[in-house]
Amino acid sequence: MKIGRAEVLRIEEYHGLGFPPKAFLPDWDEQLVEKHLHWMVPDHYAPGDGRLVGSIHSWLIRLPNLTVLVDTCSGNHKHRPDSPFFSMMNSRYIENLAAAGVDPDDIDYVFCTHLHIDHAGWNTRLLDGKWVPTFRNAKYLVSRTEFESLVGEETPSGDDLNLIVDTIQPIIDSGQWLPIDAPFQLCDELLIEASPGHTRGHCHLTLSSGDGRAVFSGDVVHHPIQVHIPSWNSSACSVTEAAVPTRIKMLEELSETGTWLMPVHFAKPFCCRVGAAQDHGFICIME
Ligand SMILES: [Zn+2]
């Protein structure tokens, strides 16, 4: 899609069945979701399978003089003992990037909204048995708070430790790692701001170009039902008391300004605009 003078492309790693709803959204209530089934089934919820439907993708923003990749999915061949769904993936992500006309060397900046395994994975790829930066010419932007809260853990273990070793350390070693303090203005049209809650240092990116505006929201919202019921956190949200106010504040701004919401895990059509609901909360406007 075109947003002002920017071209925005979705680069897919996975699209299909996701987690069981109650496991991923602990407040999931069959009675409450009943009135939403008409728009959720089958694109966003597969009740027959007892699973949500979702996606894992990056957003690529192409400005005339800058190419930015937002979030880098899970990556291939990564050992994730705590999260079998994301472990040893073998997706066609790089082929999908090529199909969009993008060479990994074209990327100027990678921006990870946060440091979960499904948002930083393609930072690196396996080459001759070594983890090397996938995007050789890019600077990798990440919130300093996010970075410090991950590496500052007393004894990182399991997936967190693996993420540091196979996905973050190689970027530090290559000199491409760039911790930032939000708010951070990347260029005239791109602004990174803090949105704590899903993680402590979570950030989102706003693209404003011409009349167009889009918010690349990372995991402030995972599933479109959370637009309608923003008080529902995911089981992966770590600062739960901050996640709900952050989500509501973002949805309010989006609904007041007609801004596109560009999440990482919404299934087809993958993004939406946000409207105010008649009672309270918001609605997804999918086109
Ligand atoms: Zn995620």
Give the pLDDT confidence of 231-262 residue by residue, as tens digits. 999 999 999 999 999 999 999 999 999 999 99
The highest-level CATH class for domain 2-285 is alpha beta
| Tokens 């994730």, located at residue | 80
User: In the predicted model, what is the mean pLDDT of residues 87-100?
Assistant: 97
Q: pLDDT band for 278, please (50, 70, 90 cuts).
A: confident
pTM > 0.85: yes
Percentage of the chain beyond pLDDT 90 is 94
Gap from CA of 222 to ligand 1 centroid (Å): 7
What is the overall mean pLDDT for the chain?
A: 96
On the question of pLDDT at 280 being above 90, the answer is: no
Q: pLDDT band for 200, please (50, 70, 90 cuts).
A: very high
Ligand 1 (single-atom ion) residues, CB below 5 Å: 118, 219
On the question of pLDDT at 153 being above 80, the answer is: no
Gap from CA of 108 to ligand 1 centroid (Å): 23
Q: pLDDT band for 156, please (50, 70, 90 cuts).
A: confident
Classify strands 282-285 and 109-111 as parallel, antiparallel or unpaired. Answer: unpaired
Please report the pLDDT score of residue 281 as a whole number: 82
Gap from CA of 6 to ligand 1 centroid (Å): 24
Gap from CA of 94 to ligand 1 centroid (Å): 19
Please report the pLDDT score of residue 1 as a whole number: 95
89-97: Cβ within 8 A, 24+ apart: 89/13, 89/14, 89/121, 91/13, 91/14, 93/11, 93/12, 93/13, 93/122, 94/122, 94/125, 94/134, 96/11, 96/12, 96/13, 97/11, 97/60
| Least-confidence region, from 16-25, 73-82, 157-166, 277-286 | 277-286
Gap from CA of 3 to ligand 1 centroid (Å): 24
